[in-house]
Amino acid sequence: MTPLATELKTAIEAALPGSVATVHDPDGAHLSAVVVAPQFAGLSRLAQHKLVYAALGDAMHARVHALQLTTRAN
């Protein structure tokens, strides 16, 4: 796992207690993540993604070129 992928995984799991994030960074610019979190229960996909983006904060705008995101409640 690249340092950026590790940083994103840590940020997501810290912001969403009980979540499990798997982040892949195949080329240093185009990341993909699967996030399973209890906070997603009953939320739309858009609301789930907004929670993840909020967890990533400035990294989402400054360091991440593209993020393919899959979310689901556990």
Cα–Cα distance measured from residue 3 to residue 50, given in angstroms and rounded to the nearest whole number: 23
Give the number of domains in the chain: 1
Q: Once rounded to an integer, what is the mean pLDDT over residues 53-67?
A: 86
Q: What is the pLDDT of residue 56?
A: 93
Q: Once rounded to an integer, what is the mean pLDDT over residues 44-68?
A: 91
Q: What is the pLDDT of residue 63?
A: 81
- Identify the domain containing residue 22 by its residue range: 3-72
Q: What is the CATH number of the domain that holds 13?
A: 3.30.300.90
Q: What is the pLDDT of residue 50?
A: 96
Cα–Cα distance measured from residue 70 to residue 67, given in angstroms and rounded to the nearest whole number: 10
CA atoms in the 13 A half-sphere facing the CB of 43: 18
Question: What letter represents residue 31's amino acid?
Answer: L
* Residue 41 backbone zone (phi > 0: left; psi -120 to 50: alpha; other: beta): beta
- The model's pLDDT over 23-42, given as tens digits with 9 standing for 90+, comes to 999 887 789 999 999 999 99
23 touches 8 (CB < 8 A): yes
- The model's pLDDT over 4-20, given as tens digits with 9 standing for 90+, comes to 999 999 999 999 999 99
